[in-house]
Structures are given as structure tokens and as C-alpha cells.
Structure 1
Amino acid sequence: MATAIWKKIAGGEIDPVYLLTGLEHHFFDATITRLKKALPDIDDASIIRFDLEETPVEMVIEEADTLPFLEERKLIIAGNASFLKAADKSKEKVVHNLAMLENWLANPSPTAVVVFIAPYEKLDARKRITKLMRERATVIEAAHLQGKDLTIWIQQEAKANGSAISSDAADLLVKMAGESLLTLSSEIGKMATYTAGESDITPETIMNLVPRTPEMDVFKLTEAYASGRVSDAVSIYHDLLRNGQEPIMLTALIASQIRLMIHVGSLRKKGYQQSQIAKTLGVHPYRVKLMMENRNAPSEDRLLIILNNLAGIDYKLKSTSGKRERLLELFFMEPFRK
């Protein structure tokens, strides 16, 4: 949806009102960047910004209806449109004239482009203003991308940067860099510059240029420990400590990985396929693929023992003032304690 709207913007089809909603702020920044490029004489200094948690919406409307001075059209960014979500009215700092906004949406200013940003997971669909905004504004849902949608987005982002990437390489990139679109966009841009359009972004390029995330190392640590490879687990653990990771956080991340392994195994027994498991659990298919391909994966009973033991380690880490690093190290050196 976003890419189709971006193409229209690049082609000069710019609508008077946009609504950007969701949790992926990269979509917000990318849309504003494209609007700046498409609107003549607009730069960062000439963008007019409002925070709707501090400013009533009628000030946005008044600014939009005031003729621009040097530009053909103004670009107005109205952030934190909290009146579109369910909220505690007792905590609201500003009272908005929503009736005025409703009337304005029926006939928005032709000399302004107003972008309302609602950086929330859900909007209150019961509200009249939310319904009208969805009907009359151009809406971009900045939803968290997963699975095949994320892979397609990565390939489109690579293409926009003058390069290309296979689906397998895109999966590896997610494994290395995580699922944040902002981080992925930055890494894709860096690799596209490195290849300079002369070659695709390959797994080798990714391994050489993309720094590993702590989550990736935790995945390797968990897999090594759960498979009984004690020396590998201890080695990875020491690397994580040297990189500044805390034992309490690592314990929580490992427990999360173990729970995921249990869920994957359970759904697999029920006949779920890789894509179905990923969708059901809300994780990237590549993580599911790695778990399903692990021939040394322990049984569910052993995973439950590990999870129970991790709960004990977590309690000790939070109740002791001693050398916490040693507690978790001893845990890795004695796998599957009952």
C-alpha cells in the first residue's frame, strides 16, 4: 500500500491530506522525504510542524488555510494525533475542535499538504473523526512487517537503491540485522553503495558488512546450549559479555528463544508448515526455518527443563549482589540439570 502511494507522490500526484498510522516510524520518515522531493521549494526549514498533544488541531487548520508566501504549497506535519485513538480524557492536555476538523476534511486547502501522524498500534474505529479521516485522507498503515511481506519490502528497498537481493539473502539480512525497517534501510543503503550497482547484495556482502545483533548471537547461544554443545555456548556467552551484554537480559532472551522452540515444535507436530508457524507465532520465517532444520534439537521435555532452570537462574541473578556472570556460565556448563 505504501509503495503504491509513494509512486503516486513521485509522479506528482500529491493529495491534500495524509494519515500515517502504526508503529514503524520508517514509513513516516520515508513518506515525508518523498513529499519534500515532490514539492517544489520545500526543505527541512520550510516544513511547518505541530505536536497535537500540545497544540489544538484548529491551529493546524488555520495554518493550512493561510496562503503560502514563497511556495506553491506548504508542507505541514501534525504529529501525535492522539484524538484518533481511545484515550483517557482526564490526561489530555489539549481540547481539540474536532467539529472544525470534520468540516475542513470535506474541503481541505488546495495550497497545503497536511500530514497527520498517529504513531499508535490501533486507532479507535468507533470515533466519528477516525472514520472521516480514513475516508477522506490518504492513509498509510505503518504496520510491522513480517515474513514474506518483509522479504518483499527488502527487495523493493534494494531495487530503490539500485541493487538487488535474493529472498535467501534477505532472510540472512533479517537474521543479522533484525526486523527494524529503519535499521534494514540503513544497511541496504550501505551495501548498495558498496556494490555500486555492479553486483547484487549477496550473503557474502551481508556477512562482511552487516554487524551482528545481540539477538542473533543469543539465537546461536541458545541453539548451542540446547543441542548440548557446551564449549560453543560458553564461548558465545563470553563474547556477549565482552560486548557489554548483561546476564539478566541474556537470561530473558534465552528463555524467549526456548519458548519459541517449544511453540515451533508443538505446531510442527500438529502439521503446521513453516509459513503457517511463522504467521501464527508472529516471527520471521527464517527463524522458524533454522529451528525446523536443526537435527540436534532437544525434545520438548528437555526444553521445558531448560526453561524451568532458567527461571531459577533469573531469580538468583536478581537476588544476588555477587558475580552474576559466573552464575550463568555455570548454568551453560551443566546442560539439562533436573
Structure 2
Amino acid sequence: MNQVYLIYGNEPQLIEEEKQKFFLSHKNLDVRVLHDEAGPSKISEQLMEDSLFGDAKVFCLINLPILKKAGQKESQEWNALADLLMNYTGDNPVLIIYHDMVDKRLKQNKKILDAIPHKECKRLEGDDLLMWIRHYCTSNGFTLTPDGYDYLSQLLQLWQDVPVAFMRTEFDRYFLLLGNHKKIDKSFLMEHSSNYGAKNIFTFKEALLKQDVNTLLELFPFMFSYKEIDRAMGYIEGQLRLQLLVSECRAAGMTAKQVENFCKENGSTLKPYPIKLAYEASSRISITALKVLLKGLYEVILDSRTSKGDMWRFRDLCLTYCGYKG
């Protein structure tokens, strides 16, 4: 039976979780860790040792250059170790950890992946990351409410390349703050989540739809200095377009459920909960004013892509929408 298992990828937290699962399945065995610095000869010798004295162990091999990168110089010694691992028949379980993605186009890599059971741990994004967060909450006895889920979903539209390790640290902190209160909702997340850019942009969008001039004025300096302002304005425009769609549907006499079905029938990926929130907000939002704001925002975004953007115009558009007279 092949006792070799390979874990690889660019998400350290997921690699760590898979590693602990492997160790737990062999919890009665000691672990011997060997890095690539040990060299192929020493690693081969260690693997080939007979367990004469009953000292069975788990070998954990870290970042061995048996997996190739384009242009990498060939090494007969490492290739021989790769062959040994692909055909390993020893009694000691072997875990190979490779902290990077694998180029599956290369013949050597494809050969190893075909021969050795493996798990890819790549950076999670969008719905995959949200699913991990929800599972992590549930496994710790907490529930992420629909509005909390929607809040995180919108933050992740703005905040790319979020490490799972960061989200785990964040939620571990939330669990301590919540104690016996087991529900994680939007209001809690807005109050306690770390103060990164995406959080401010979400708050800005919420203030704009609520015509909260004071909050907008507080956040304009941040918006003006935000290094990814084009993405931020694109997100705000998308949220405003969602609000306009739902508001027009409600004005036409449609119920929230009918709006949801309408979106689904037309191939939209909008989730039911954001539609519900936009429907509830539509009674206090002027469709005419929202159209003017969207038209102006589209022009600002278009100009910014040709280096002619005027953020002060963006400020004026937002304040005009809120009915601010100065």
C-alpha cells in the first residue's frame, strides 16, 4: 500500500489543516521532519532505513525540488528520490509538503501527481472562501447570519487575495468577543472587524444609500487616498445598479420574491439576501436621483481610466444625491 501523500499549494493555512489531519491519522507515531536542505542522499537513506527496533515514524518532507519549475536545472539525485517516493513500499508513512502551486504542464510533475495521492491547497476566493468561513464558524459552535454573510460577501468583492490564515485569526478573535452569544451578524462584524480598506468602502456605500452626509464627509479623505479607488468605485456602481434594478421592479408592482425570480430567470448571480435588503431600502430611495448619480459615477469611472478622473466631481455627485446644499 502506498503510504505517501502530497500536499501542495499557495494557501499556508489550508496546508497546515491538511498536515494536521495526516498527523492525526498517525497520531501514535513520532514525526521526523526533513527539509530540502538535507539533500536527496540523506533523505533517501532515512527513507530506506529498516524499522528494526520498532521505531516507526512519520516522515514529513518539506519543499523538495522533485516538483519542477519551468527552466529548472535537472538533477539526477533529486530525480532518483522522486522515483523512490513514487514507488515507495516502506512501512513508514511519508507526507510531502510543497509550499507553492505545481505546474501541471511539466512531464515530471504530471508523473508525480499521477503516482502519488495529493491535495491541492490553493488560495480561496469568493464563494469558496465564504464557504470555508461558514464551516469554520459552525465547527466552533457559531452561526453566521444571512446579513453577516452578505456583508462578508461584499467585502470580499473589494478585498482580493485574502489569506485564510488572516480570516481564521479574525474569527478566533470574534469567538472570544462573543462568548456565549453564538450568532455573528452584520452589526457585530461592522463594529469589530479589522479596519482595512474594504470595510471603509462598504461603510461609504451604506452611508451613500442612507444619505448619511456626516459619514460620507468623514470617509472622503480615505476614498481620495485609496490606492485601488477604481475598484472601489466599480463596486459602488455595481451596488447602486442593483438598488436601481430592485427599486424599478418594486415601482412596477413586483414583490421581493418576484424580483428574485426575475433575476434568476435572466441568468443573474445575485443572491436572494442582497435583493431582499435592496427591496426594503427602495421605499426611501428616489429612482430619479439614483439614475443621475449612476450616470455621473459612470462618467467619473470612464474618465479615471483615461487618467482624466476628477474625484472632487465624485464627491459633489454623492453630496448632491444626499440633498446636501452646502
Aligned to 1:22: 9
Instruction: Deviation per CA, 1:296-317: give whole Å up to 9, x if none.
Output: 65476444302123336x568x
Inter-partner Cα distance in structure 2 for 1:274 and 1:152: 25
Aligned to 1:210: 193
Please list, as runs of the form range in 1=range in 2, the aligned pairs for 1:151-300 lying within 5 A after superposition.
Answer: 151-175=130-154, 179-196=162-179, 198-203=180-185, 204-221=187-204, 232-238=215-221, 240=222, 247=225, 249-257=227-235, 273=264, 277-278=268-269, 295=282, 298=291
Does residue 1:146 correspond to 2:129, yes or no? Answer: no
Instruction: Deviation per CA, 1:85-127: give whole Å up to 9, x if none.
Output: xx431xx36636436523531325331422232522x632462
DSSP 3-state at the match of 1:115: strand
Q: Look up the equivalent residue of 2:301 and give its one-letter code.
A: L
Instruction: Deviation per CA, 1:33-79: give whole Å up to 9, x if none.
Output: 34445534657xx533337xxx8666544443345799631331322
Unmatched tracts of structure 1, length 5 or more: 1-13, 280-284, 317-326
Instruction: Indicate conservation of the 8 Å contact 2:6/2:117, yes or no.
Output: yes
Q: Look up the equivalent residue of 1:156 and give its one-letter code.
A: H
Inter-partner Cα distance in structure 2 for 1:79 and 1:254: 38
Instruction: Indicate conservation of the 8 Å contact 1:73/1:112, yes or no.
Output: yes
Aligned to 1:50: 36
Scaled by the length of structure 1, what TM-score is found? Answer: 0.63
Inter-partner Cα distance in structure 2 for 1:34 and 1:61: 25
Structure 1 126/48 Cα, relative in aligned 2: closer, same or farther at 3 Å?
closer
Inter-partner Cα distance in structure 2 for 1:222 and 1:159: 29
Aligned to 1:136: 116
Deviation (angstroms), 1:215: 1.3
Deviation (angstroms), 1:272: 5.4
Aligned to 1:64: 47
Inter-partner Cα distance in structure 1 for 2:15 and 2:314: 43
Scaled by the length of structure 2, what TM-score is found? Answer: 0.64
DSSP 3-state at the match of 2:133: helix
Alignment identity in percent? Answer: 11
Aligned to 1:334: 316
DSSP 3-state at the match of 2:7: strand
Q: Look up the equivalent residue of 1:136 and give its one-letter code.
A: I
Inter-partner Cα distance in structure 2 for 1:75 and 1:298: 63
What is the number of equivalent residue pairs in this alignment? 289
Aligned to 1:101: 82
DSSP 3-state at the match of 1:119: coil
Q: Look up the equivalent residue of 1:247 and give its one-letter code.
A: S
Aligned to 1:83: 67
Instruction: Deviation per CA, 1:122-154: give whole Å up to 9, x if none.
Output: 63246254244244323244352432x444322
Deviation (angstroms), 1:200: 1.5
DSSP 3-state at the match of 1:83: coil
Task: Give 1 or 2 for the bigger CA radius of gyration.
Answer: 2
Inter-partner Cα distance in structure 2 for 1:286 and 1:131: 45
Aligned to 1:320: none
Q: Look up the equivalent residue of 1:47 and give its one-letter code.
A: V
Instruction: Indicate conservation of the 8 Å contact 2:201/2:232, yes or no.
Output: yes
Inter-partner Cα distance in structure 1 for 2:96 and 2:266: 36
Unmatched tracts of structure 2, length 5 or more: 250-261, 321-326
Q: Look up the equivalent residue of 2:235 and give its one-letter code.
A: Q
Instruction: Indicate conservation of the 8 Å contact 1:77/1:116, yes or no.
Output: yes
Inter-partner Cα distance in structure 2 for 1:288 and 1:274: 17
Aligned to 1:32: 19
- Judge which range, 123-132 or 221-230, deviates more: 221-230
